[in-house]
Amino acid sequence: MKITIYVEGGGNNSNTQSRCREGFAEYCKKAAPDRRLKVVACGSRNQTFDRFKTESSRSKPDEHCLLLVDSEGPVKQGTTPAVHLLERDRWDFAHLPGEQIFLMVQAMEAWFFADRVSLAAYYGQGFRLNALPGDEHHIEAIPKDDLVPSLESASRDTKTKGQYHKTRHGFALLARIDPAKVEAGSPHAEALHRFLRAT
């Protein structure tokens, strides 16, 4: 079975799209090492949804198309990703495979908070772990608006990398973090990993 993941991120620049694709591909390869995975970096949220809709309608029997986007906020307990996105973004998933829709809760950066060892190792000297909110086992509870500012604050005084920057650092970090730790801290990430491994 071939799996193609249409992921939010990378903007409209070919260089950042390439880094986004590589970061997610490396992460997913570690989460499901025995699967044939392809990642497509789609840019904005709406571009990602549109691409997923188009490609899902064309998929062959031996293909699965997955959608992976930020939740952009907390997800109510018991709410499916499709319902969350219908309520938040007015995206209509009628006639689309609802079980192939996944969320990064509350945004991609939350995943980094599950593997603080890798985060500290990436930034090196000057990185302030105590500037990071929440804990590794409940990363979905960290408000979206706190994610990037706290990463910027924690990394501001590092010597080699400097302050966190989404496209310069985010996708490289994604390739480094341990999916098992993310899975332990995020039920939505665990659902994605479980689907990838079972398909």
**Amino acid identity, residue 159?**
K
pLDDT in tens, 39-76: 999 999 999 999 999 999 888 888 899 999 999 999 99
Task: Locate CATH 3.40.50 in the chain.
Answer: 2-108+170-198
Is the pLDDT at 107 greater than 80, yes or no?
yes
Q: How many residues does the chain have?
A: 199
What pLDDT, on a 0 to 100 scale, did the predictor assign at position 97?
79
Angle at alpha carbon of residue 35, lines to 24 and 92, rounded to 5°: 60
Q: Which two tokens stand for residue 156?
A: 């501001």
**Per-residue pLDDT at 1:** 85
* Residue 82 pLDDT level (bands cut at 50, 70, 90): very high
Q: Under DSSP, is residue 68 helix (H, G, I), strand (E, B) or coil?
A: strand
Average pLDDT over residues 71-89: 96
**Tokens 């689907």 found at:** 195
Q: Contact 41/10 with Cβ under 8 angstroms?
A: yes
Buried b (16+ CB within 10 A) or exposed e, 2-23: ebbbbbbbbeeeeebbebbbbb
What single-letter DSSP state applies at residue 95? T
- 133-177 tens-digit pLDDT: 999 999 999 999 999 999 999 999 999 999 999 999 999 999 999
Q: Which fold has domain 2-108+170-198?
A: Rossmann fold (3.40.50)
CA neighbor of 178 nearest in space, from 122, 111, 99, 102:
111
- Portion of the chain with pLDDT greater than 90, in percent: 90
Q: Is the pTM of this model over 0.85?
A: yes
What percent of the chain lies above the pLDDT cut of 70? 100
